[in-house]
């Protein structure tokens, strides 16, 4: 696999935005739920997937995963019942898939606004349901009562954030920077 300069640039920009979101309050928006916040950290991975392709989306998701692990490894370990494999799986696997699945979701549609909508939905649900679902299904069963309300509320809020940000961003960037699949 050989990355083009364009893809490396997109990965760098989206990765840098992801790091800024992770280490500032912009990455976790306060909402009235049990978690107390909804994440926006997945948005750069969605955009990276759409404009850079699946490899760039995965790389940006990896940056998100590493940032999340650095900041929240204790929470992952708590919800996994101390099982390091489950904690790492929950922290990394869904994040690696956000941009990959967003790329294919976007590519399935001819209209950029429809593709951006679908990519936002798929990318966000990959992140939220993936992380929380792994912890719910494979983690500490005594933590399930705490996870269930978050699983039921956060996807709605996080999809809303992604739609509000990703659709206008993709529509604006599409004029100057064609999506990845159009450059092949």
Residue pointed to by tokens 């604006």: 172
2/44 Cα distance (integer angstroms)? 22
**Structure-block tokens of residue 102:** 């967003």
pTM of the model: 0.92
Residue 35 binned pLDDT confidence (cut-offs 50, 70, 90) = confident
Mean predicted lDDT score pLDDT of the chain: 92
- Residue 130's Cα: distance from chain center in Å? 10
- Could you tell me which of 144, 126, 129 has the C-alpha nearest to residue 49? 126
Residue 79 pLDDT greater than 60, yes or no: yes
CB 109 within 8 A of CB 120: no
Share of the chain above pLDDT 70, in %: 96
How far is residue 18's CA from residue 85's CA, in Å, rounded to a whole number?
24
Q: What share of the chain is helix, strand, coil (3-state, %, to 5)?
A: 80, 5, 15
Question: What is the number of residues in the chain?
Answer: 184
Identify the residue with better confidence: 58 or 34.
58
CA separation for the pair 78, 80 (Å, rounded)? 5
- CA-based torsion, 126, 128, 129, 134: positive or negative: positive
Architecture of the domain defined by 5-183: Orthogonal Bundle (1.10)
**Confidence label for 184 from pLDDT (cuts 50, 70 and 90):** very low
The pLDDT of 32-50, averaged and rounded, is 88
Q: Which uninterrupted H or E stretch holds 39?
A: strand 37-39
Q: Domain limits of the chain?
A: 5-183
Please give the Cα distance from 80 to 86 (Å, whole number). 6
Q: How confident is the model at residue 29 (pLDDT cuts 50, 70, 90)?
A: confident
Is-contact 46 102, C-beta < 8 A? yes
- Hey, how many other C-beta atoms are within 10 angstroms of the C-beta on 178? 13
pLDDT in tens, 87-140: 999 999 999 999 999 999 999 987 899 999 999 999 999 999 999 999 999 999
């Amino acid at each position: 696999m050989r990355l083009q300069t364009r893809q490396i640039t997109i990965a760098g920009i989206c990765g840098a935005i992801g790091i800024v979101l992770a280490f500032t309050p912009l990455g976790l928006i306060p909402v009235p739920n049990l978690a107390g916040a909804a994440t926006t950290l997945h948005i750069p991975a969605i955009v990276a997937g759409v404009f850079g392709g699946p490899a760039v989306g995965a790389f940006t998701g990896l940056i998100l995963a590493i940032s999340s692990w650095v900041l929240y490894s204790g929470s992952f370990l708590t919800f996994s019942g101390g099982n390091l494999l489950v904690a790492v799986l929950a922290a990394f696997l869904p994040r690696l898939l956000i941009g990959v699945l967003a790329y294919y979701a976007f590519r399935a549609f001819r209209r950029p606004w429809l593709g951006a909508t679908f990519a936002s939905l798929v990318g966000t649900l990959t992140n939220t349901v993936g992380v929380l679902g792994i912890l719910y299904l494979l983690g500490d069963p005594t933590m399930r009562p705490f996870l269930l309300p978050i699983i039921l509320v956060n996807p709605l809020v996080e999809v809303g954030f992604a739609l509000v940000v990703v659709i206008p961003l993709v529509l604006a960037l599409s004029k100057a920077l064609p999506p990845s699949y159009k450059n092949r």
